Amino acid sequence: MKKNGEPTAPTPAAADAAANVTKGKWAWAKSHPRLVKRTFAAALVVVILLTVILTTIAVNNKTTSTSSTANASSSSSNNNNNEPSDTGLNATPTDSTPTANEGNNGDNATNDVTQAIDEEFASRSSPSPTATPTTLTPTVISTNVLTTRKPTLNPSAAPTLAPTNLPTTQKPTDQPTRNPTSTLKPTDDPTATPSDSPSTGPTEPPVQVTFNPGQLTVAENGLLLSTGLTAKVVARTGQAVPTITGPSVALFHAAPDFGATYATTTTDSSSNNNNDDGWIYVSNSEVRGDVRGQGGVGAIEFDSTGRVTKYKMVLTQTTGNCGGGRTPWGAWISCEEIGGGRNWQVDPTGVRPARPITLGNDTGGAFESFAYDVRNLQEPYFYVTEDVTQGAMQRFTPSNPDWDDPWNMLYGPGVTDYLILYPIAYGADGYPVRGVFSWTTSRGAAKENAARFYPNSEGIDVWENELFFVAKRLKTMFILNLDDLTYTNQTTKSGLFDGTPDQLQRIIGHDTKEMLYFTEEGGRDAGVHCRNELGHFFTLFEATDYEDETTGLAFSPDGRHLYVAYQDTGILFDITRTDLQPFQAQTLNLKYHATENN
């Protein structure tokens, strides 16, 4: 039995007719694709517009529902009994149930499109239905599907809550809702605080240079010094050396000669004097005479500021300690310039006992100075000069060089050979100016060669692959290339390296502030001299009160103190710059000879 409201089922004939119509529609649609596409595009636009409209209605309903719920809470008892509210306003409730047309707007739009297709198809040709189809009655959609709230019986007369002056959006949080995308961690403090006023100059004032080498303007302590220098007396022969703790026990030695400085990092437990960053200046004592054993080596110790902390003798009971030289491991070699003299290895600190080394010990001699070439550690060479007419230069090669115990290296066995020069070019005055050289084990042959070509050799030093030494009697400096066994020579009458700036540049580089300093072998106003990298000659200072030989030239490790002695007078000076800057200097263990009576 058919219930009320149900549609009438179509008959079989009507169903066949409807199927034929459907087939015809699809055939027509396939033959008119452009029209179909346009039709479906129009339908899609309609659907999108309907979606937007329905979404807007839903949002408005949600807002109204929220307001109504608040109103219903205040008058729930009146609404449940259909009585007037406390406000006294009565109104007949309106039927808010939507109609079928309101609930089927989307279906109507679709039906319009379908109808347009049907009419186009019918206008052409369509099979007649075998029976009249039964008219279909659309089903009415229940209002409970379209609404989610029940309307109140009485409308609210006024909003339940008074409007506020504050925005309805939520209060912003103190922190961002998510971390910043940057991975860099901000610093706790700004990198710099701006100053109240701009800077007017550099943070440190520039150094005011006062040193002007060669401009002799300062007279002090018997010296005529270059502008910007000052001279202080450190010690005098036969007097106690002033120290920061009082006069030294030992008296300063006589005839001070060659010297050198050594950095120290030791602590004197007896005086509680920490001498880190200080240095020791060693000085030979060239005392001669009928009684031997009056010479030796003295050592003056300084703190890091250049103050004297102590003085003592580190070698005694030797004679005529003239020149010498340092070793790579920090020892001082002191040479006895006397017949049968020896070469002594001395510890500047005085901890190790001084001993004579193998070099020169078998022959003895009037030895002058010491140098070394240790570029090849497996075959190191050590040299010594002899200040006599037949004083051949000696070279010692240790048989078993032990760099784990270098202090004993010069005490062991080895090979000693001697220098032979072979001139191949001569100057206008007939003296040789260049040649080649070799080494021989024949001491006799070497002595004859020395008497002829390099008598009375004194200072010696090695710089990289070149060996420098001075023949005092000839007033000539020889430069030996230790690699190719060639040599050149030049006069020292106008100072070392006169007219040879290339040699100077190998030693002091190309810095125009760097200079090579050297002393002078006697003279009425002997002093200390220097050359720059261009070969220009300067007198750093000279004596006004001493007709004497300048000796013991050395610089402190920090370059701020220049030490030099006047031997016969027996006085040791400390020369410094008044602008407190270091001397930019190199030295060679050489002297030059400007007078004819040496």
- Each residue of 102-154: pLDDT tens digit? 444 444 544 555 565 555 545 544 444 444 444 444 444 444 433 444 444 45
List helix spans (H) across 386-525. Answer: 443-453, 501-508
More confidently predicted of 93 and 416: 416
- Give kind and range of the element (H or E) at residue 365: strand 365-373
* Domain ranges (residues) in the chain: 10-67+101-133, 217-592
CB atoms within 10 A of CB 354: 19
Structure tokens given for 479: 């430069």
- Could you tell me how many helices (H) and strands (E) the chain has, helices first? 8, 31
- Across residues 277-289, what is the average pLDDT? 95
Q: Using 50, 70 and 90 to split pLDDT, how confident is the model at 176?
A: low
E strands, 252-291, in order:
256-264, 267-268, 273-274, 278-285
Structure tokens given for 468: 């420098």
Least confident window among 240-244, 396-400, 403-407, 509-513:
509-513
The separation between the first and the last C-alpha atoms of the chain, rounded to the nearest angstrom, is 156
DSSP character string of 113-130: HHHHHHHHHHHH--PPPS
Q: What pLDDT is attached to residue 274? A: 53
Give yes or no for residue 242 having a pLDDT over 50. Answer: yes
Angstrom CA distances, 51 to 44, 58, 142, 167, 547, stand at: 11, 11, 20, 30, 120
Q: What percent of the chain has pLDDT over 70?
A: 61
Least confident window among 161-165, 571-575, 588-592:
161-165
Q: What pLDDT is attached to residue 579? A: 93
Structure tokens given for 400: 């078993």
Task: Look at residues 221, 218, 224 and name the one whose alpha carbon lies nearest to residue 235.
Answer: 221
Query: pLDDT for 484-504, tens place per residue?
Result: 999 999 887 766 544 444 443
CA 566/CA 551 separation, integer angstroms: 6
Contact between 168 and 161 (Cβ < 8 Å)? no
Assign domain 217-592 to a CATH class.
Answer: mainly beta
SS3 526: coil
Structure tokens given for 325: 């030289």
Structure tokens given for 359: 């070099």
Q: Using 50, 70 and 90 to split pLDDT, how confident is the model at 535?
A: confident
Q: What pLDDT is attached to residue 87? A: 40
Angstrom CA distances, 62 to 40, 56, 147, 211, stand at: 33, 10, 10, 95
Count Cβ neighbours within 10 Å for each residue of 445-454 and write b for 16 or more, e otherwise.
Answer: ebbebbbebb
E strands, 452-536, in order:
457-463, 466-471, 476-481, 486-491, 515-520, 527-532
Give yes or no for residue 82 having a pLDDT over 90. Answer: no
Mean pLDDT value across the chain: 77
Task: Look at residues 566, 586, 537 and name the one whose alpha carbon lies nearest to residue 222.
Answer: 566
DSSP character string of 73-93: HHTHHHHHTT---TT----PP
Give yes or no for residue 254 having a pLDDT over 80. Answer: yes
Angstrom CA distances, 25 to 135, 146, 178, stand at: 20, 34, 58
Give yes or no for residue 35 having a pLDDT over 80. Answer: no
Q: What pLDDT is attached to residue 195? A: 53
E strands, 133-228, in order:
212-220, 223-227
Contact between 65 and 148 (Cβ < 8 Å)? yes
- Across residues 275-296, what is the average pLDDT? 92
Query: pLDDT for 305-361, tens place per residue?
Result: 999 999 999 999 999 999 999 999 999 999 999 999 999 999 999 999 999 999 999
Q: Residue 511's beta-bridge partner residues?
A: none
In the block, which residue shows the tokens 């010690």? 235
**Does the pTM of the predicted model rise above 0.95?**
no
- Across residues 420-426, what is the average pLDDT? 96
Widest CA span in the chain: 164
Q: What pLDDT is attached to residue 108? A: 52
Q: CA torsion, points 253, 254, 260, 261, in degrees to nearest 10?
A: 30
Helix axes 12-31, 33-74, angle to 10 degrees: 110
Contact between 592 and 514 (Cβ < 8 Å)? no
DSSP state of 175: S
Q: Using 50, 70 and 90 to split pLDDT, how confident is the model at 203?
A: low
Give yes or no for residue 403 having a pLDDT over 50. Answer: yes
Exposed/middle/buried for residue 380 (C-beta within 10 Å: 0-12, 13-18, 19+): buried
398: left (phi over 0), alpha (psi -120 to 50) or beta: beta
Give yes or no for residue 182 having a pLDDT over 60. Answer: no
Contact between 460 and 370 (Cβ < 8 Å)? yes
Structure tokens given for 192: 């710099």
Q: What pLDDT is attached to residue 18? A: 58
Q: Which amino acid does the sequence have at 330?
A: G
- Across residues 17-36, what is the average pLDDT? 64
CA 422/CA 555 separation, integer angstroms: 36
Q: Which amino acid does the sequence have at 217?
A: T
